[in-house]
Structure 1
Amino acid sequence: MKIYVVFYSLYGHTYRMAEAVAEGARSVKGTTVMLRRVPETLSHEVLQKMGAVEAQKTFSHVPICHIEELGQADAIIFGTPTRFGNMCGQMRQFLDAAGKLWLSGKLIGKVGSVFCSSNTQHGGQESTLLTFMISLLHLGMIVVGLPYSFTGQMVVDEVSGCSPYGASTIAGGAGERMPSENELAGARFQGRHVAMITEKLFR
């Protein structure tokens, strides 16, 4: 059983969540996890001005995903930062290249899931996850979220991401906050949950 975790990260927040998702998926026996990042569309000069170059070095070893690879997966878990309540432009451009996969029906019946990050607690985490799922449904995928059996999404004693639609993290206004243990636990839970459902479907 092969699961792809495909993400875009600018400062490393989504990457840390992707690692936790992959860890959770690998905990299911017989699961092979492929960690991939989508191509960057910003120039090196722009990334320097944004102060993102050093952060991106931490995950530069992760291979860039080619859209055709997705057809090899049994499940795909996507990770994206939030941009005004939607997925980021890099992820949108990547998915917009999936026309051949859509036309050939190669993703029909495969499991799809989403996790994300946002700057603030109410910065569009849930709308990003929900609007992302529209693309997965158009591709014929079986959408899986983060069930309430992950009780960490109901905490009230701390600021935390995660919802029934998927795991999420809050980066803070200046990106100073990295994923909390509760958010990483949600990501691991989601990865394992997707793997378990995929295993049942393809058994």
Structure 2
Amino acid sequence: MIDDIKSEADKKMQKGVENLFSAFKKIRTGRAHPAILDSVMVSYYGQETPLKQVASVNVEDNRTLAVSPWEKTMIPTIEKAIMMSDLGLNPSSTGDVIRVPMPMLTEESRKEMVKQAKADAEHARVAIRSARRDANSTVKELLKEKEITEDEERGAEEEIQKLTDKYIAEVDKALKAKEEDLMAV
């Protein structure tokens, strides 16, 4: 029973960390990386489709992405979708390839992105603590209903806290790496 609670808390905490990593992918560092365009949706035969399902995205050089659509008729649609995304990118097509240059980041924009990364990390920490709170309250309910002893309750809370500490450390490590990446010129 306690193992189920810990397992559920572990899943929720892991989900919080996964959400952080997907949020970090959207924060561009000035270097070209295909994951930057993961959130771009393209209208494909009336359906909103992820860009990576209608085109290949490759790194051309340090500062440029090359998007090669599977169908050449999709070039204007993909260009428009990239422009309309909130990524601040300006694509340009050259025949059958769309080039997406990464704009240089100013010191100010780097600091703004670090602020965003810190906010995303804090959201992940809150999600992890929320999972801990839910697990602990479930354990307390079991104690109240006399399904477990006080020693079992204390042991379960300690193990849940260890899980929490592990995932918070993971978030802090990821944030530190993202900050260094953003501030590197």
Q: TM-score range by the shorter chain?
A: under 0.3
Q: TM-score, normalised by structure 2?
A: 0.23
Computing the radius of gyration over CA atoms, which structure comes out larger, 1 or 2? 2
In terms of fraction of residues, the more helix-rich structure is 2
